[in-house]
Amino acid sequence: KQEVTQIPAALSVPEGENLVLNCSFTDSAIYNLQWFRQDPGKGLTSLLLIQSSQREQTSGRLNASLDKSSGRSTLYIAASQPGDSATYLCAASSFSNDYKLSFGAGTTVTVRA
Amino acid sequence: ETGVTQSPTHLIKTRGQQVTLRCSSQSGHNTVSWYQQALGQGPQFIFQYYREEENGRGNFPPRFSGLQFPNYSSELNVNALELDDSALYLCASRPSGKTEAFFGQGTRLTVV
């Protein structure tokens, strides 16, 4: 069973600082890992998807890495802006169960102007 | 814009009632999944449909059921509503042969 943990639960940084968000998963036989953004009361917006054969993905100011051996993924957001304030969720799927996404509880980020 | 639309956006029901939530996906998105997200928690997998058949289910009781239609729309039905069913219900779809999931904006269900 894939279990996903995100620590810390909340993070507050001043504008311009780089953000580092952590995600841990228990099943190293990971199929893919996806990072999402969620604004209050809203649905999920996909940010980055990393396949099991990949080590990282980049999109603009976002970079996500995947280390299967340690069971970790990290999302980096460069030069944070107040508009980056949201909850960030990571979700993993396993080869044994590739259709099911197992989510962490998320990290709520506040970027102070 | 994910191309996944859910309706209604908000809903209030009384304990014991039944509810139907709807989801419309893009053409070619043959796989649809439903998730329940309680306040302050990550989404929990309810079930998934592929080409109109259920092909995976999470730890939810049988009073949670679903349907998928040929026009890429789907439904989540919940019978005998309980207070703990109050949550944000999310629909996600995937195109054929792809692994990235695209989510709708969710339906906020409140059971009183």
Interface of A with B in 3-62 (CB under 8 A): 4, 31-32, 34, 36, 41-46, 49, 51
Per-residue pLDDT tens over the stretch B20-31: 999 999 888 889
For residue B1, the model assigns a pLDDT of 67
Distance separating alpha carbons of residues A58 and A65, to the nearest angstrom: 9
Antiparallel, parallel or unpaired: β A10-14 and A107-112:
parallel
* Section A92-100 average pLDDT: 79
Phi and psi for A83 in degrees, rounded to 5?
-70, -10
Distance separating alpha carbons of residues A71 and B34, to the nearest angstrom: 26
* Residue in chain B lying closest to A1 (CA): B58
Interface of B with A in 13-32 (CB under 8 A): 31
Per-residue pLDDT tens over the stretch B48-102: 999 899 989 999 999 999 999 998 899 999 999 999 999 999 999 988 777 788 9
Interface test with A, best of B23, B90, B99 (most A CBs within 10 A): B99
Confirm if A87 and A104 have CB atoms less than 8 A apart: no
Q: Who wins on pLDDT, A103 or A1?
A: A103
User: Cα distance from A78 to chain B (closest Cα, Å)?
Assistant: 24
Find, among B24, B30, B104, B94, the residue nearest to A42 by Cα.
Answer: B104
Buried b (16+ CB within 10 A) or exposed e, B55-90: ebebeeeeebbbebeeebebbbebeebeeebbbbbb
Contact at CB, A41 and B88, closer than 8 angstroms: yes
Distance separating alpha carbons of residues A83 and A109, to the nearest angstrom: 10
Distance separating alpha carbons of residues B10 and A55, to the nearest angstrom: 39
Chain mean position to CA B13 = 17
Distance separating alpha carbons of residues B83 and B63, to the nearest angstrom: 14
Antiparallel, parallel or unpaired: β B87-94 and B31-37:
antiparallel
Per-residue pLDDT tens over the stretch A5-61: 999 999 999 999 999 999 999 988 888 999 999 999 889 999 999 999 999 999 999
Distance separating alpha carbons of residues A100 and B79, to the nearest angstrom: 23
Token readout for B57 is 């289910």
* Section A66-93 average pLDDT: 96
* Residue in chain A lying closest to B57 (CA): A100
